[in-house]
Amino acid sequence: MKKKLLVSVLALAMLVSATGCASSTSSTTTAAAATTKTAEATTAVTTKAAGETTASVSAKDVSIILVTMDGLDNHWVNVDKGAQDAAKELGITYQWMAPDKKDTALQIEMLNNAIAAQCNGLIVAAVDPNAIVATLQSAADAGIKVVYADSTANFDAVAQFTTDNYAAAKIAGEQMLAGLSEKGITSGDIGIVAFSNATQTSIDREQGFRDAFTGTEFKLLETQYGNSEVAASQAAAENFISQGVVGVYGNNEPGAVGVGNAAAANKDWKGVVIGFDASQTTLDLVDNGSLYCVMAQNPYKMGYGAVYAAYNAIVGKDIGETKVDTGAQVVNKANTKDFRA
């Protein structure tokens, strides 16, 4: 009897700590403080939020929460960095919440946590464009200002700070064509290692790339999914190379690392490999020639701009540009040093 009790208590404790770990991965320790502060502040802010705007809301009373797709990918870490700096400049309370892995249900949980914490602004990178719409609606109903960072959903938000993934991907495609023509290759198969078949970002990044190849002699094979894991992306790329493709494209950071490693392991293969996202590893892979180039986003700018936009919306100031393309740049051997942290 006692053992059963011990076991259930332990299991409960683990469950609680697991959700705790998952929900607050930010390096700020304001978690407890934030909830109490926002509880107090909400009464002040929400009474004014209904239509009224007043500049007399103190910055200290404003709280913004960022919910990304997961807490592990470098990309989100950079979004958070930008957001943190903006929050510091503005003197507001800020918190980053993200689950352990990209999962629609988990993200909805995180969003609900944020709503329950009664934040004033919610910045979100949508895992799925439709699944979280209802949750965002309830956020808006509660008077929370919603801003997108990196990935949007089918819900009207206050502003969005995203990479125009389609455009960036098209450029990536064009880069691959350029690289292939440098090597004198005009036809053959191309392999795509995408990270998701549901996230809008991944869909856009695939579509843009594919469209760059219309009218060419190249055949784009069935997309393989790497699920944002280096190992799985790498295996898929290795298999593509064995199948005799002339180019491989990985459309996010783990994908880029995977396809780059696969290329490096096949020294005899004469193809072109392109990735997405600049991280220390992908930059190294560009430098050593494994990756032809990567498309670098500007996650820092996403976070930074999103916080400012949310803040302005909360206090009633003019937001300025609501659909901001934070841009993507081609990073190759020539300019890797500019992107190193």
Partner 1 sequence: MNAKQSNWINRKFASRGMQSVVSATFGFVLLFIIFSIMSPSFRSMNNIQNLFRQIAPTLIIGIGQGYVLITGNIDLSIGSVVGMSCMTAGTLMNRGMNPVLACLITIILALVVGVLNGTLVAKVNLPSFIATLGTMTLARGLAQLVNNNHNTDFIGNTAQGFRDLLYYGNFLGIYSAVWLAIILWIFFNFLLSKTRTGRHIYAVGSNLDAARLSGVNSFRTILLTYIISAFCACLTGLTLLASAGMGTMDAGGTYEMYAVAACVIGGISTLGGSGILPGVIAGAGIWGILQNGLQFVGAPVALRNIIIGTIVILAVVLDIVTRTNSKKTRRLLKKQ
Binding site for partner 1 (CB under 8 A): 3, 7, 10-11, 14, 17-18, 21, 25, 27, 70-74, 77, 100-101, 197, 221-225, 228-231, 234-236, 238-244, 254, 257-258, 261, 265-266, 279-281, 284-285, 288
Contacts of 242 (CB under 8 A, 6+ apart): none
Nearer residue to partner 1 within complex by CB, 252 or 312: 252
Q: What share of the chain is helix, strand, coil (3-state, %, to 5)?
A: 50, 15, 35
Closer CB to partner 1, 74 or 104, in the complex: 74
Dist. CA 118–CA 38, nearest whole Å: 6
Return the number of the residue (52 or 222) whose C-beta is nearest partner 1. Answer: 222
For the bound state, the minimum distance from the C-beta of residue 119 to partner 1, rounded and expressed in Å, comes to 21
**Look-up of token digits 């051997």:** 333
Is 123 exposed, middle or buried (CB count within 10 Å of its CB: 0-12, 13-18, 19+)? Answer: buried
Q: Output the smallest distance, CB 222 to partner 1, in A.
A: 5
Give the Cβ contact number of residue 6 at 10 Å.
Answer: 10
| Shortest distance, position 300 Cβ to partner 1, whole Å | 15
> At closest approach, how far in Å is the CB of 225 from partner 1?
6
User: Of the two residues 164 and 229, which places its CB atom closer to partner 1 in the complex?
Assistant: 229
Between 3 and 56, name the residue whose CB sits nearer to partner 1: 3
Q: Which is nearer to partner 1, 141 or 268 (CB)?
A: 268
- In the complex, minimum distance from the CB of residue 139 to partner 1, in angstroms, rounded to a whole number: 26
Q: Are 340 and 312 in contact (CB under 8 A)?
A: no
Angle between helices 165-182 and 200-211 (to 10 degrees): 40
> Could you tell me the smallest distance in angstroms from the CB atom of residue 334 to partner 1?
19
Given phi > 0 = left and psi -120 to 50 = alpha, else beta, which region is 277?
left
